[in-house]
A and B are shown apart, each in its own frame.
Chain A
Amino acid sequence: MWSAAARLGQGLAVGLVVALLCFAFVETLPGDQALRLAAARFGEDLTDPSRAELVRRELGLERPWPVRLLAWLAALAEGDLGRSAVSRERVAGLLAAYGARSALLAAVALALSLVFAVPIGLLSALHPGGVVDRAAAAFSAFTVSLPSFVRALALMLPFAVELRWFPVAGFGQPSHLVLPATTVALALAAVSSRALRHAVVAEREAAHQAFLAWQGLGLAARVLPHGVRGVAIPMVALLSVQAVHVIDGVAVVETVFAYPGLGLLVVRALLARDLPVIQGVGLVVGAAMAAIGMVADIATRLLDPRQVEASWRRA
């Protein structure tokens, strides 16, 4: 098993690799970086070659890429993530602010998605093929097919505009989280409720359940140790996958709700070729992804200790 230090090191390594890949890929994109940055800074109307030169000289973009990369790495070694090439704000500060907001949204959305998904999934699994199951399947398919913009509107209109229970958009107060988190949670729950339903049905049909029933164990003794594990593992796995997407895959929701999270930060930075921000986000998000992966790994191992034995035997 990997020690905690080794895992930490691996996490940071993942972040670094992602950041380096970002640098490489952005460099290969066509177009003049300085021009894009000038457009982001001064607006489209004032974008012209002379202002691009201004930016190029200010940021030292005429230096060859190995020099620029080494400069970034050197600064990183001292803990300096640099400044945004557009707004000159410190990247570390940006990451902390946007990252915290994304993390908060992700946590609330995931928790909320389980609140929706668990009852629906369980009810659907009670009678596979029954009315509830079919309705839930249709609802899930429909929700996933609905663009997040429309989902957002469907929540904004009654709850924010009509009833005025929550603000329409923005950030800062806890109430700003509710609608965006619900918008995301609905899409997550659409998928996880079906996953739960499939897992429960599969457990019920599983051979070893029949075996245990044949052995004379009551329902409780059958379900609790084996069934829950059989259901929990797919759910944990799916949640880890969903957690990834909630953190940097909800740019549309962030745009509609004017909720400044990492999704929005990354899109803006990519369009403007704001390398320090892109690399900073890559570093932090890469490490976060590694962390999520490790948590999922440990959680599933804990849920099913037999895996540990099996891996011994494999070796």
Chain B
Amino acid sequence: MAMPLKSLGRRAVLAGLPVLLTPPLSWHRSAQAAVRRLEVVAPWELRGLEPAQSGFVFHRMQIAEALVGTDLRGALAPALASRWAVDPDQTTWRFTLRSGAKFHDGTPVTAASVVSALERARSGGGALRDAPITHIRDDGETVVIVTSRPFAPLPAYLADFSAIILAPAAYGGDGQVRELLGTGPYRLSGREGTRRIEAEAVPEAALGIRYTAYTAVPEAETRALMLQGGQADAAMTLSPAAWERLARAGFDMWLAAIPRVRVLKVNAAHPAFASLALRRAISLGIDRVAIARSVLRSPDLAATQLLPPGLAEWHRADLAPLRYDPVEARRLIEAAGYARRRDGLYAKDGRTLGFELFTYPERPELPPMAEAIQAQLRELGLEVTLRLGDSSAVVQGHRDGTLQAALIARNFSLLPDPIGTIAADFRTGGAWGAMNWQDRDLAAAIERYESTFDASEAADVRRSIVALLHHHLPTIPISWFDHRVGFSARISGAVVDPLERSYAIDRLAWRS
């Protein structure tokens, strides 16, 4: 019996359906299979090619270097400069360049080209503009930098991402960067807008991984899933929940304590923070361990002082740790003249004790932490209202005096030496630091630290800086930071840089 045409057609379609569905298997693989590429995924996209804006990507991917770098323990180490020293006048520094260094376009690295790159960095928005540099010049194959006063932390400032050294040919006619010609073991080979870059090992470097890529993936869950699904080899900044999930699934997961601290930045002109006693009371009223355990998944992250143990030189084990003691907190508040009302809130002269706490959801753990702090302080007897917004509102509020308190995440490793951030925040009060608060002893200690070249004197001054900050609480530390990273099984030799300055790709190799 002849098959009707219609049913033949139907059978053909049904037969063909599986064929139509299976091609996806190879769609994306075919593009990647041509070359084995190390895929790094991280939250931040590039912001143009300027070192001050996107230097962090090129430095971490080892495409560009600065004069000074760091080792995997966080100490300063030679990079493009093989060594440096300061003259007896303590203001003239000489940096000797690494011999045989070449830019990616083949031109040699000369002191002159380094000087022009540094001048550009100084006039840009990077950290270098905050260093008291008078002038920079080249002297043969040495770079000479003169400071206006003895300034020991200068090398740390030269390690800043914005101070990466690019070839003269990298800059276009208008002074903007046209092409990323650095000195790192990897050369930029492709770029898609601000979202993705691809790099290739320079021929001279004998590296295990030849081809790399960095893709900006804003969503933390997606990064975790990309690692799980084999699309990424290194996933940065994972959420605690995803990290634990992947650890259970057998991935190579790392936890690094990085020197970022979540602190309560307070306005010392506000009645709730005007006296040291009240600041201490608020500090005692926050159960940091509970917050760290439930929101951050790691009770060890509860801050006992401002700087974490990872910054060994700055962390003082002998200081009395910040603790949770609501009884003592109440005593301090009542000693300040406040009385508890029937609704549980403290008041004095008809005014309730409380403040507005601002935070920003750009860092997803901050709002839940702020809510927890709000609830804990409410139990103590303070009325805290929350406000969410953009991080720059903190700077704005500091500038116009309207900020009462803010929960922020402050990076003390912008430079390899925390003094950079400490000075900016606490010498005279900075946009992210003390507000309406100053201390002569602290300012003097910071000055001394910056100007001394004597290691033991520096150690003493460090100790007193930390003690002063711990005693006066111009900002109230809440928790430290865990950087959660995951690697795929395709690679071996993975390691995590505690300062997040490099992805250490040159140490990796394909495992096969």
A complexed with B:
yes
Using a CB–CB distance below 8 Å, which chain A residues touch chain B? Answer: 31-32, 35-36, 38-52, 54-55, 84, 86-89, 94, 97, 149, 153, 156-157, 160-161, 164-176, 178, 255-258, 260, 264, 271
Q: Are A87 and B225 in contact, with the CB atoms below 8 A?
A: no
Binds A, one of B65-73, B146-154, B216-224: B216-224
* CB proximity of B382 to chain A, nearest CB, Å: 27
Partner of A89, one of B193, B230, B430: B193
Binds A, one of B137-145, B347-355, B385-393, B468-476: B385-393
In the bound complex, how far is the Cα of B27 from the Cα of A88, in angstroms? 34
Q: Are A161 and B219 in contact, with the CB atoms below 8 A?
A: no
Name the residue among A46, A149, A153 with the largest chain B CB count within 10 angstroms.
A46
Indicate whether A48 sits within 8 Å of B431 (C-beta atoms), given known contacts A169-B226, A173-B27.
yes
**Chain A residues whose CB sits within 8 angstroms of the CB of B379 once the complex forms:** none
Indicate whether A169 sits within 8 Å of B222 (C-beta atoms), given known contacts A45-B414, A258-B216, A258-B217.
yes
Binds A, one of B44-52, B290-298, B306-314, B320-328: B44-52
* CB proximity of A81 to chain B, nearest CB, Å: 16
Q: Are B193 and A46 in contact, with the CB atoms below 8 A?
A: no
* CB proximity of B350 to chain A, nearest CB, Å: 31
* CB proximity of A22 to chain B, nearest CB, Å: 18
Q: Are B391 and A97 in contact, with the CB atoms below 8 A?
A: no
Indicate whether A88 sits within 8 Å of B392 (C-beta atoms), given known contacts A38-B125, A51-B125, A258-B215.
no
Q: Which residue of B lies closest to A45 (CB)?
A: B411
Partner of B432, one of A45, A87, A255: A45
**Chain B residues whose CB sits within 8 angstroms of the CB of A271 once the complex forms:** 390
Q: Are B218 and A255 in contact, with the CB atoms below 8 A?
A: yes
In the bound complex, how far is the Cα of B31 from the Cα of A175, in angstroms? 11
Q: Are B28 and A167 in contact, with the CB atoms below 8 A?
A: yes
Interface pairs (12), CB distance under 8 Å: A41-B48, A42-B125, A45-B414, A48-B430, A88-B176, A164-B25, A166-B28, A170-B231, A171-B192, A171-B195, A175-B28, A260-B195
**Chain A residues whose CB sits within 8 angstroms of the CB of B231 once the complex forms:** 160, 167-170
Which residues of B in the span 213-257 have a Cβ within 8 Å of any Cβ on A?
215-219, 221-222, 225-226, 228-231
Whether, in the assembled complex, B396 has its beta carbon less than 8 Å from a beta carbon of chain A, the answer is: yes
Whether, in the assembled complex, B127 has its beta carbon less than 8 Å from a beta carbon of chain A, the answer is: yes
Partner of A87, one of B47, B219, B392, B411: B47
Indicate whether A168 sits within 8 Å of B229 (C-beta atoms), given known contacts A38-B125, A41-B52.
yes
In the bound complex, how far is the Cα of B48 from the Cα of A164, in angstroms? 33
Q: Are A47 and B193 in contact, with the CB atoms below 8 A?
A: no
Instruction: Other than A31-B396, A32-B392, A258-B217, give 8 A-B pairs with Cβ distance below 8 A.
Output: A44-B391, A46-B414, A47-B395, A48-B432, A54-B125, A97-B193, A161-B229, A258-B219
Which residues of B in the span 398-441 have a Cβ within 8 Å of any Cβ on A?
399, 410-411, 414, 421, 424, 430-432
Whether, in the assembled complex, B24 has its beta carbon less than 8 Å from a beta carbon of chain A, the answer is: yes
**Chain A residues whose CB sits within 8 angstroms of the CB of B431 once the complex forms:** 47-49
Indicate whether A49 sits within 8 Å of B28 (C-beta atoms), given known contacts A42-B53, A168-B229, A258-B216.
no
For the complex of A and B, list the 9 residue pairs with the smallest distance between their C-beta atoms, beginning with the closest.
A175-B27, A87-B48, A161-B229, A39-B392, A258-B217, A175-B28, A44-B391, A165-B24, A48-B431
Q: Are B219 and A256 in contact, with the CB atoms below 8 A?
A: yes
Q: Are A41 and B229 in contact, with the CB atoms below 8 A?
A: no
CB-CB contacts of B180-220 with A at 8 A, as 1s and 0s?
A: 00000000000011111000000000000000000111110
Whether, in the assembled complex, B362 has its beta carbon less than 8 Å from a beta carbon of chain A, the answer is: yes
Q: Are B228 and A161 in contact, with the CB atoms below 8 A?
A: yes
* CB proximity of A80 to chain B, nearest CB, Å: 15
Q: Are B395 and A41 in contact, with the CB atoms below 8 A?
A: no
Q: Are A260 and B193 in contact, with the CB atoms below 8 A?
A: yes
Q: Are A38 and B392 in contact, with the CB atoms below 8 A?
A: yes
Q: Are A176 and B225 in contact, with the CB atoms below 8 A?
A: no
* CB proximity of B483 to chain A, nearest CB, Å: 15
In the bound complex, how far is the Cα of B389 from the Cα of A271, in angstroms? 10
**Chain B residues whose CB sits within 8 angstroms of the CB of A44 once the complex forms:** 362, 391-392
Q: Are A172 and B192 in contact, with the CB atoms below 8 A?
A: yes
* CB proximity of A265 to chain B, nearest CB, Å: 10
**Chain B residues whose CB sits within 8 angstroms of the CB of A167 once the complex forms:** 28, 229, 231
In the bound complex, how far is the Cα of B47 from the Cα of A40, in angstroms? 8
Q: Are A257 and B393 in contact, with the CB atoms below 8 A?
A: no
* CB proximity of A208 to chain B, nearest CB, Å: 33
Q: Are B194 and A87 in contact, with the CB atoms below 8 A?
A: yes
In the bound complex, how far is the Cα of B192 from the Cα of A186, in angstroms? 29
In the bound complex, how far is the Cα of B242 from the Cα of A312, in angstroms? 64
In the bound complex, how far is the Cα of B52 from the Cα of A174, in angstroms? 35
In the bound complex, how far is the Cα of B50 from the Cα of A84, in angstroms? 13
* CB proximity of B107 to chain A, nearest CB, Å: 25
In the bound complex, how far is the Cα of B196 from the Cα of A170, in angstroms? 9
**Chain A residues whose CB sits within 8 angstroms of the CB of B218 once the complex forms:** 255, 258, 264
* CB proximity of A293 to chain B, nearest CB, Å: 30
In the bound complex, how far is the Cα of B195 from the Cα of A97, in angstroms? 12
Q: Are B28 and A36 in contact, with the CB atoms below 8 A?
A: no
**Chain A residues whose CB sits within 8 angstroms of the CB of B215 once the complex forms:** 170, 258
In the bound complex, how far is the Cα of B14 from the Cα of A243, in angstroms? 31
* CB proximity of A253 to chain B, nearest CB, Å: 11
Q: Are B25 and A165 in contact, with the CB atoms below 8 A?
A: yes
Q: Are A48 and B395 in contact, with the CB atoms below 8 A?
A: yes
Indicate whether A153 sits within 8 Å of B221 (C-beta atoms), given known contacts A36-B390, A41-B53, A168-B229.
yes
* CB proximity of B490 to chain A, nearest CB, Å: 14
Q: Are B24 and A178 in contact, with the CB atoms below 8 A?
A: yes
**Chain A residues whose CB sits within 8 angstroms of the CB of B432 once the complex forms:** 45, 47-48
**Chain B residues whose CB sits within 8 angstroms of the CB of A174 once the complex forms:** 27
* CB proximity of A296 to chain B, nearest CB, Å: 31
**Chain B residues whose CB sits within 8 angstroms of the CB of A171 once the complex forms:** 192, 195
Partner of B125, one of A41, A87, A97, A164: A41
Indicate whether A257 sits within 8 Å of B390 (C-beta atoms), given known contacts A164-B229, A168-B229, A172-B192.
no
* CB proximity of A157 to chain B, nearest CB, Å: 7
Q: Which residue of A lies closest to B218 (CB)?
A: A255
Q: Are B392 and A45 in contact, with the CB atoms below 8 A?
A: no
Q: Which residue of A lies closest to B391 (CB)?
A: A44
Partner of B195, one of A40, A156, A166, A258: A258
In the bound complex, how far is the Cα of B24 from the Cα of A256, in angstroms? 20
Q: Which residue of B lies closest to A159 (CB)?
A: B24
